[in-house]
Amino acid sequence: MKNLEKLLSELQVQKLQTQTRRHFLMDCVSKVGGLALAPLLFGCEIGKNGQAKDGLNLSERDLNPLAPLPPPFAGKAKSIIYLHMAGAPSQLELFDFKPELAKLHDQDCPESLLEGRKFAFIRGVPKMLGPQAKFNQHGQSGAWVSDYLPHFSKVVDEVAFLKAMHTDQFNHGPAQLFMQTGSPRLGRPSLGSWVTYGLGTINQNLPGFVVLTSGGKTPDAGKSVWGSGFLPSVYQGVQCRSKGDPVLYLEDPSGMSRDLKKKVISAINQANQEDFESIGDPEILARINQFEMAYRMQIEVPEVMNINDEPDYIHQLYGTQPGEESFANNCLLARKLVEKGVRVVQLYDWGWDTHGTDKDGSIDMGLRNKCRKIDRPMSALLLDLKQRGLLEDTLVVWGGEFGRTPMQENREGKVQGFKGRDHHVDAFTMWVAGGGVKKGASYGITDDFGFSGIDERTSVHDLHATLLHLMGFDHEKFTYDFQGRPFRLTDVEGELIRKIIA
Amino acid sequence: MSKSKLSIWITLITGVVVLYFFWNREEKVDFSTEIKPILNKHCISCHGGVKKSGGFSVLFEDEAFAPTESGHPAIIPGDPGSSELIRRLTHSDPELRMPYKRTPLTEEEIELLKKWIKQGAQWGKHWAYEPLTKPELPSEIQTAGFSKDNSAAKKPIDYFVQTKLEEVGMHASPSENPLKLLRRVSMDLTGLPPSKELVSDFSAGKISYEELVDSLLADEAYGEKWASWWLDLARYADTKGYERDVSRTMWPYRDYVIRSFNDDKPFDQFTIEQLAGDLLPDPSQDQLTATAFHRNTMNNDEGGTEDEEFRVAAVLDRVNTTFEVWQSTTMACVQCHSHPYDPIRHEEYYQSLAFFNNSRDEDTHDEEPKLRFYPEEDQAKMNTILDWVAANGGDKSAKLRYDFLRFYEPKYAAHLATDFQNAELIDTKWLGLRSGGSAVYKNIDTQGSDQMLMSYRTGLDGTKVTIRRSNAEGEILASFVMNKTQGDIVREIAFKVLNESIDLYIEANNPKAQPQQNTSTIVWFAFVPTLGGKDKPGFAQVKEQWDDLLEFSGTRLPILIENPPFMARETHVFERGNWMILGEKVESTTPLELGTWNDKWPKNRLGMAYWLTSQDNPLTARTLVNRVWDQLFGRGIVSTIEDMGTQSDPPSHPELLDYLAWKTMNNYKWSVKSLIREIVLSDTYRQSSDITQEAFQKDPKNQWYARGPRFRLSAEQIRDQALAVSGLLSRKMYGKSVKPVQPEGIWMTVYNGESWTESEGEDKYRRSVYTFLKRTSPYPSFISFDAGSREVCLSRRIVTNTPLQALVTLNDPVYVEAAQVLGKKEWESSGEIPDKAIAEIYKTLTLQPISPSKQQAMSDLFVQARKEFEASPEATMEFYPDADAELAAIAVVANAMMNLDEFLTKP
């Protein structure tokens, strides 16, 4: 206690405060604990830029690395929901209508399309494969959407299509990494980590970056697609699960009541506070904060992850069935999480790799079935966000890691038993909606076979630059120093796609 | 004016006068510490590496003084007035004034540049590239460092730290409480809390602090603790990574690392073995095992991926990792262009790459070459065979046979096939020939062998395979029939003896095969001659032993093996870093700026390892010291652990860094234990870690070391400590990785099919370094505490503080069980007296007596918990089967105390 006395006497001499700085900070912490709202923190004189004005010179982020920060400029979007169809859906059956391709069906692929190109599985000269879906124009925007997505065709006026996306990776793992981290190799932070690092999160009782998976598998590239790379690990995505604990170790040990847990935490924090007073290490304050947050997370996460109590009309809208691990449930959860102030929600739905090697992987049957599982919920998500006034500041992104070839895949030189398409990097479709996106827009044009973009081509870096822009960042200035140089999500590339910004 | 104010004025005025004199003495401007930082901060992002705006670059000396686009050099040595550099820095037109559209340089900076130019604009090296020189120490300190009993005198580390502290106007803290210090040094050296015996011997004064340190360094737990650090750098994991991320056998390498630390293998030897153990004369099993360091690179099994692309990815990773681990240098940038900041040129990257581009591994599915760990009876067979071959074919044949038995090289992987006709690489991995199908292997050297070994599997009987010279019409070299196999087999095939490299045409025919059916799956082939001495007595027995060994299916570890000359690979520059666009051919050599090359060294990985560990290499020893210091103090002397280049933070204590680096190399002969010992014996390390507000404000990050190190324990330490204090920890060492308790449904990798099967018995409670690490899904509680996924080299774990960590230590069954066992132990030994048990638990955890207020808080918790459990026997039963309310309550208290900041933190 000697140090404390010394400290106290120093503080008295300085007459900075009638309260000691430590107790003062303790107040802040308990207020963060109580409400976790920025204005209260500012009330504690911890500046907006995260720097305390005096005293221990602790920033809000020293106590809580996820404390919310304002973006560098006012972004339209406050949160982001990213729907990643892992395996890569076929643009040619969903959005990119190519009547000319139908005419070439079952004919040998023109040499000009194959020259100097590599495919993951296609060898030699494959056959062309005409569109397997029926297309119609929808909404005021007249967007082409196939009959695989009847619900979605009713909300097309909310979204902006990117129809000439391209990537440079034709294997799932590297392509997913590229799409999510801006690099096909490991070690870079994911988009969600960058955003969470830059903005923190609004609700301290929930993780700032939540990942939900469906389709029975995690994405091919593993957890690195929501990893934090060289950013501190606190910014990585937290996988919330629909079976078992929604967040790992969230549940109290069996037999321990909530009330008892509260007492446990209070005893821990009491002892920790005593240590802070004698040792003076501000890390202990952060630890106290951490335990309070953990306790509240234990209450709030199960609440938000529980969809049982949603009204019937919501279940009908999304097509949700409580207790399942499904894309529908995850869409509803995404809305709930964003509504509660989660910064980034990412949904990975596995099972879109339609090579035609079996029925589930066929373009005419498997893909149609996959679409049935996402069509209603993803449309419902847009409608639900809109009716709650959340779509304005929630950015919704949909897409795979690459597209599919206009050719029938012919793995190992054999004809496949089902209709299928190989991986394709030159052209695919994604869509974005909400948070500052121009409604009903379509950007990018592909050639007559949907093989290559011929105008308004969009790279993965362009997409990232635009998403960051909508969240309030200049992608060229949003950097993190590592290994002696500043890194960015977009590396040294990326152009804003101004035509889809409202 | 009061007396004290007057004295302040006098001091101030004197100070200004003194400063003025110093300023005017025209000291020589030091390029490395004064000029280079200015250039790097303000100029290099546009004038260096990739961008050379206006044709001006300040990256290399020759560029800086070369004519710019204007036709004249921007720097005229001796003449600041005519130097465009200075003119532009001070230009009144904002369009011309540099840095363009950014804050101008300060007057001091511009003055310094002028002075430097006036003095002749001498270029120099960045401090980190300057060779190490013998450090200068005041004589009384120089001797003290080497004497054990002269502990009252200042030790060199403390001399450097205190000199700096005086400069910044701070004071060292008093010594740490001895038992806190005991816990600190024990966690640091062994990763475990000290044993009961050590605690009692040390607190009774039976052993000195020095003796304590020596006994901790001698504990085998030391190797396990420090291995975790090295394994992060080595990106060691138990799976291949990428999409399918299936298991691989790497644990013998982990064991090698642990043994090496425990044996205090000199760091130069440790380096040489890992980078080039295979190139040492007659490498031992251990030296070959060490080379698995660079087989920790990932291996891609995803269907449709080209092995060559991922072989190249692995080689690039080896270059980048080697430079990061030994040189604190980021090479990744140089892959695409000359380094924007560090003086390493684009070609130099590929010259370094050439060292690593000549190993046998090719991202094949089986990850060959692999070192075989034969059990004793197999080793006896091997000796018999080798003796036979030596007697019948000479020593050279015996050596080739020995190599082949150890790691099955040289051999050709099936994926090298080209010119497919009715054939394909199955899943882009193995050769599949349909009936009537064929493929070609180009430029194959059979080394005059009369026999081919082929590894394959097939589900069909009666496939006739024919191997011809060049094409379908070529001479038949071998012909055989393949029948159904049980998995992969190695088959001996008589082969025509050839004395030249040729193309092999391979075809298969089987009338029973379906049109689209593969007749077989071919994995690899090799040319190993028949045993010889066929007509001699004993041949049949030797042949039988040879056949037995070919069926070996025990432990096999991926290792590095250099290509024989007939398989050597050329290295070319990749244009813009793209492996498919090859530029000019390069020969292996090391970057010029980082140390000289000795022509006595072989131009291969071994030579490179000699270069790294040579006395002239400025970075290896500095890097080692910086990383070890970081492990102990939570911060490097250069805080950017991964980078000591020109963009790194400057060292807080440059002389200290160089002193320790020099001493480690010269006096300690690269002994890591001696380095650690010197650091933990310093007063700097032994200071109290309590923080005063004043000290915190002056130095929040503790970079001047006015207090002892205090930071949260690592993921491994936290788990190991919990198991240790409860007595659950198994001290079993080495062997296959184990799978302790983990929640269900964590492993969901695509196309994988493996699952987490919980280990049994004591294997559940092994030290964390033995926990199975799956790259795409690492052990969840480790991830929460900032451990990495080991996909790439990790120099520094950034310590974070999140609620998810609290959830682990509060709720993870591993920690709950530890609390129950600890609670029970202390409950029983305290005679079931709650307050006594609480005090004992606290003491076990922290080695400290519990304070009255903490005792009160925990005692209250105990009473409340007991009340709850008494009211609900079901809850008691659920929380702690077979316990009564009191025991359950004490377990709750133990759980709480195991979550205290002081328990989770190094004191």
CA distance B51 to chain A (A): 12
Contact A241 B868 (CB under 8 A): no
- Structure confidence at residue B142 (pLDDT): 54
- Structure confidence at residue A57 (pLDDT): 59
Residue B904: its chain A contacts at CB < 8 A? 287
- Structure confidence at residue A233 (pLDDT): 78
Contact A3 B692 (CB under 8 A): yes
Nearest to B362 by CA among B491, B524, B191, B473: B524
Q: Is the pLDDT of residue B19 over 60?
A: no
Q: If pLDDT is split at 50, 70 and 90, which confidence band does A450 have?
A: very high
From chain A residues 90-129, the ones with a CB under 8 A of any chain B CB are: 118, 120-121, 123
The average pLDDT across B555-565 equals 97
The average pLDDT across A78-96 equals 97
Token pair of A291 as six digits:
């335990």
- Structure confidence at residue B844 (pLDDT): 97
State how far the alpha carbon of A64 is from the alpha carbons of A197, A245, B14, B218, in Å.
12, 24, 46, 40
- Best residue of A250, A256, A275, A479 to probe chain B, by most B CBs closer than 10 Å: A256
Higher pLDDT, A207 or B48: A207
Nearest to B765 by CA among B727, B816, B736: B727
The average pLDDT across A316-338 equals 94
- Structure confidence at residue B132 (pLDDT): 92
Of A3, A220, A227, the CB nearest to B243: A220
Of A243, A257, A297, the CB nearest to B875: A257
The average pLDDT across B252-280 equals 98
Q: If pLDDT is split at 50, 70 and 90, which confidence band does B462 have?
A: very high
Q: If pLDDT is split at 50, 70 and 90, which confidence band does B18 have?
A: low
Strands A442-443 and A159-166, by their bridges, are parallel
The secondary structure of A9-72, three-state, reads HHHHHHCCCCCCHHHHHHHHHHHHHHHCCHHHHHHCCECCCCCECCCCCCCHHHHCCCCCCCCC
- The C-alpha angle with vertex B208 and arms to B204 and B211, in degrees rounded to 5, equals 125
- Structure confidence at residue B505 (pLDDT): 98
CB contact A21 to B (< 8 Å): yes
CB contact A294 to B (< 8 Å): yes
- A38-42, A98-102, A308-312, B610-614 — which is least confidently predicted? A38-42
Architecture of the CATH domain B409-539: Sandwich (2.60)
Spatial contact of B648 and B328, defined as CB atoms under 8 Å apart: yes
Q: Is the C-alpha dihedral spanning B591, B594, B600, B601 positive or negative?
A: negative
Q: If pLDDT is split at 50, 70 and 90, which confidence band does B332 have?
A: confident
- The C-alpha angle with vertex B254 and arms to B253 and B257, in degrees rounded to 5, equals 90
Residue B300: its chain A contacts at CB < 8 A? 171, 173
Q: pLDDT digit string (tens) for B607-621?
A: 999 999 999 999 999
Q: If pLDDT is split at 50, 70 and 90, which confidence band does B574 have?
A: confident
Nearest to B198 by CA among B189, B175, B183, B188: B183
Instruction: Name B405's Cβ contacts closer than 8 Å, sequence gap at least 6.
Output: B372, B382, B385, B549
Token pair of A168 as six digits:
């440079």
- Structure confidence at residue B15 (pLDDT): 59
- Structure confidence at residue B25 (pLDDT): 53
SS3 A476: coil
Of A236, A245, A287, the CB nearest to B901: A287
DSSP conformational letter for A319: T
Q: If pLDDT is split at 50, 70 and 90, which confidence band does B11 have?
A: low
The string of DSSP letters for A82-119 reads EEEEET---TTTTT---HHHHHTTTSBPPHHHHTT---
Q: If pLDDT is split at 50, 70 and 90, which confidence band does A239 have?
A: confident
CB contact B693 to A (< 8 Å): yes
Q: Is the C-alpha dihedral spanning B739, B742, B745, B749 positive or negative?
A: negative
SS3 B430: strand
- The C-alpha angle with vertex B520 and arms to B517 and B525, in degrees rounded to 5, equals 150
The verdict on ipTM greater than 0.90 is no
- Structure confidence at residue B334 (pLDDT): 73
- Best residue of B804, B898, B900, B904 to probe chain A, by most A CBs closer than 10 Å: B804
CB contact B854 to A (< 8 Å): yes
Distance in angstroms (rounded) separating the CA atoms of residues A191 and B762:
41
- Structure confidence at residue A50 (pLDDT): 38
Q: Is the pLDDT of residue A52 over 50?
A: no
Q: pLDDT digit string (tens) for B138-153?
A: 877 755 444 444 444 5
SS3 B252: helix
SS3 B524: strand
The average pLDDT across A76-103 equals 96
CA distance A421 to chain B (A): 13
Of B777, B803, B854, the CB nearest to A293: B803
Q: pLDDT digit string (tens) for B719-761?
A: 999 999 999 999 999 999 999 999 887 777 667 778 888 999 9
Chain centroid to CA B318: how far? 11
Residue B640: its chain A contacts at CB < 8 A? 483-484
CB contact A302 to B (< 8 Å): no
- Structure confidence at residue B776 (pLDDT): 85
- A374-383, B337-346, B413-422, B898-907 — which is least confidently predicted? B337-346
Q: Is the pLDDT of residue B17 over 60?
A: no
CA distance B258 to chain A (A): 26
- B221-235, B260-274, B300-314, B707-721 — which is least confidently predicted? B300-314
Q: Which residue has the tokens 């901060």?
A: B41
Q: Is the pLDDT of residue A41 over 80?
A: no
Residue A245: its chain B contacts at CB < 8 A? 743
Higher pLDDT, A424 or B128: A424
- Structure confidence at residue B575 (pLDDT): 81
Contact B744 A244 (CB under 8 A): yes
The average pLDDT across A28-48 equals 32
The whole-chain average pLDDT of chain B stands at 91
The average pLDDT across A71-82 equals 92
**How many residue pairs bridge chain A and chain B with CB atoms within 8 Å of each other?**
262
SS3 B762: helix
Q: Is the pLDDT of residue A15 over 50?
A: no
The whole-chain average pLDDT of chain A stands at 86
Q: If pLDDT is split at 50, 70 and 90, which confidence band does B103 have?
A: confident
- Structure confidence at residue B860 (pLDDT): 97
- In chain A the first and final C-alpha atoms are separated, in Å, by 60
The average pLDDT across B871-881 equals 96
Contact B812 A286 (CB under 8 A): no
CA distance B516 to chain A (A): 7
**Run of H or E including A135:** strand A135-138
- Structure confidence at residue A13 (pLDDT): 39
Of B324, B516, B777, the CB nearest to A223: B777
Q: pLDDT digit string (tens) for A133-173?
A: 999 999 999 999 999 999 999 999 999 999 999 998 888 88
The secondary structure of B801-849, three-state, reads CCHHHHHHHHHCHHHHHHHHHHHHHHHHHCCCCHHHHHHHHHHHHHCCC
What domains, with CATH codes, occur in chain A?
A: 2-63+257-297 (no CATH), 79-243+323-500 (3.40.720.10)
Higher pLDDT, A174 or A316: A316
Of A221, A249, A293, the CB nearest to B812: A249
Q: Is the pLDDT of residue A59 over 50?
A: yes
CA distance A52 to chain B (A): 12
- A65-74, A288-297, B331-340, B839-848 — which is least confidently predicted? B331-340
- How much of chain B exceeds pLDDT 70, in percent? 95
Q: If pLDDT is split at 50, 70 and 90, which confidence band does B695 have?
A: confident
Of B333, B516, B792, the CB nearest to A485: B333
Q: Is the pLDDT of residue A14 over 70?
A: no
Amino acid making up residue A95: F
The average pLDDT across A376-403 equals 97
Token pair of B405 as six digits:
């038995």
SS3 B466: strand
Of B864, B865, B902, the CB nearest to A275: B902
Q: Is the pLDDT of residue A295 over 70?
A: yes
Q: pTM for the complete prediction?
A: 0.85
The average pLDDT across B851-857 equals 97
Q: If pLDDT is split at 50, 70 and 90, which confidence band does B338 have?
A: low
The residues spanned by each domain of chain B are 27-124, 139-175+618-698, 178-219, 266-368+567-613, 409-539, 811-904
Nearest to B278 by CA among B297, B265, B261, B292: B292
Q: If pLDDT is split at 50, 70 and 90, which confidence band does B445 have?
A: very high
* Beta bridge mates, A403: A424
- A398-412, B256-270, B829-843, B860-874 — which is least confidently predicted? A398-412
Spatial contact of A342 and A207, defined as CB atoms under 8 Å apart: yes
